[in-house]
Chains A and B, each alone.
Chain A
Amino acid sequence: MDDKKEKRWFNAVLPFLIPVLVLILWQLVSMGGGAKASLMPSPVKVLQTFVGMVESGELLRHALISTNRALSGFLVGGMIGLVLGLINGLWSLAERLTDSSVQMLRNIPHLALIPLILLWFGIGEESKLVMVSLGVFFPIYLNTFHGIRSIDPGLIEMGRVYGLKGFALYRNVLFPGALASILVGVRYSLGIMWLTLIVAETVSAKSGIGYMAMNAREFLQMDVIVLSILIYALLGKLSDSLAKVAERQFLKWHPNYNKPARKGGLRLVRKSYPAANSTAS
Chain B
Amino acid sequence: MSEKAIRLQIQQLRKHFGETTVLTDVNLTIEPGEFVAIVGRSGCGKSTLLRLIAGLDQPSQGSVALNGEPITAINQDTRVLFQEARLLPWKKVVDNVRIGTQGNDYESALIALEQVGLESRADEWPGILSGGQKQRVSLARALAGHPGLLLLDEPLGALDALTRIEMQQLIEQLWLEQQFTTILVTHDVSEAVALADRVILLEQGVIAMDTRIALARPRERDNGFAYYEKSILDRLLNRTERDALFPDVPASGFAI
Chain A interface (Cβ < 8 Å from any Cβ of B): 152, 154-155, 157-164, 172-173, 176-177, 179, 252-255, 258, 275-277, 279-281
Q: Are A275 and B127 in contact (CB under 8 A)?
A: yes
Contact A164 to B56, CB < 8 A, known contacts A154-B82, A158-B86: no
Q: How far is the CB of B52 from chain A (nearest CB, A)?
A: 14
Q: Are B127 and A164 in contact (CB under 8 A)?
A: no
Determine which of B54, B79, B91, B128 lies in contact with A276 in the assembled complex, contact meaning CB atoms within 8 Å: B128
Q: How far is the CB of B145 from chain A (nearest CB, A)?
A: 8
Q: Give the interface centre of B78, B91, B99 by most chain A CB atoms within 10 Å.
A: B99
Residues of B within 8 A of A173 (CB): 88
CA distance A152 to B82 in the complex (A): 14
Q: Are A164 and B99 in contact (CB under 8 A)?
A: yes
CA distance A179 to B90 in the complex (A): 10
Closest A residue, CB atoms, query B95 = A172
> How many chain B residues have a CB neighbour from A under 8 Å?
23
Q: Are A155 and B100 in contact (CB under 8 A)?
A: no
CA distance A258 to B54 in the complex (A): 36
Is B130 interfacial (CB-CB < 8 Å)?
Answer: yes
Is B215 interfacial (CB-CB < 8 Å)?
Answer: no
B:92-127 near A, CB below 8 Å: 99-100, 125, 127
Q: How far is the CB of B78 from chain A (nearest CB, A)?
A: 8
Using an 8 Å CB-CB cutoff, how does the interface string of B29-41 with A read, 1 for contact, 0 for none?
Answer: 0000000000000
Is B204 interfacial (CB-CB < 8 Å)?
Answer: no
Q: Are B99 and A172 in contact (CB under 8 A)?
A: yes
Minimum-distance CB pairs A-B, first 5: A280-B130, A176-B90, A158-B86, A253-B90, A253-B125
Q: Can you give 29 A-B contacts (C-beta < 8 A)?
A: A154-B84, A154-B86, A157-B82, A157-B86, A158-B86, A160-B74, A161-B56, A161-B78, A161-B79, A162-B99, A162-B141, A164-B99, A172-B88, A172-B91, A173-B88, A176-B88, A179-B90, A253-B89, A253-B91, A254-B127, A255-B127, A258-B127, A275-B128, A277-B130, A279-B128, A280-B128, A280-B129, A280-B133, A281-B130
CA distance A154 to B87 in the complex (A): 10
CA distance A158 to B134 in the complex (A): 14
CA distance A252 to B124 in the complex (A): 11
Q: How far is the CB of A179 from chain B (nearest CB, A)?
A: 8
Q: How far is the CB of A260 from chain B (nearest CB, A)?
A: 13
Q: How far is the CB of A182 from chain B (nearest CB, A)?
A: 13
CA distance A232 to B249 in the complex (A): 84
Residues of B within 8 A of A159 (CB): 99
Q: Are B88 and A258 in contact (CB under 8 A)?
A: no
B:138-166 near A, CB below 8 Å: 141
Closest B residue, CB atoms, query A175 = B90
Closest A residue, CB atoms, query B73 = A160
Determine which of A161, A252, A253 lies in contact with B80 in the assembled complex, contact meaning CB atoms within 8 Å: A161
Is B42 interfacial (CB-CB < 8 Å)?
Answer: no
Q: How far is the CB of A183 from chain B (nearest CB, A)?
A: 13
Contact A253 to B84, CB < 8 A, known contacts A161-B56, A176-B90, A280-B133: no
Is B76 interfacial (CB-CB < 8 Å)?
Answer: yes
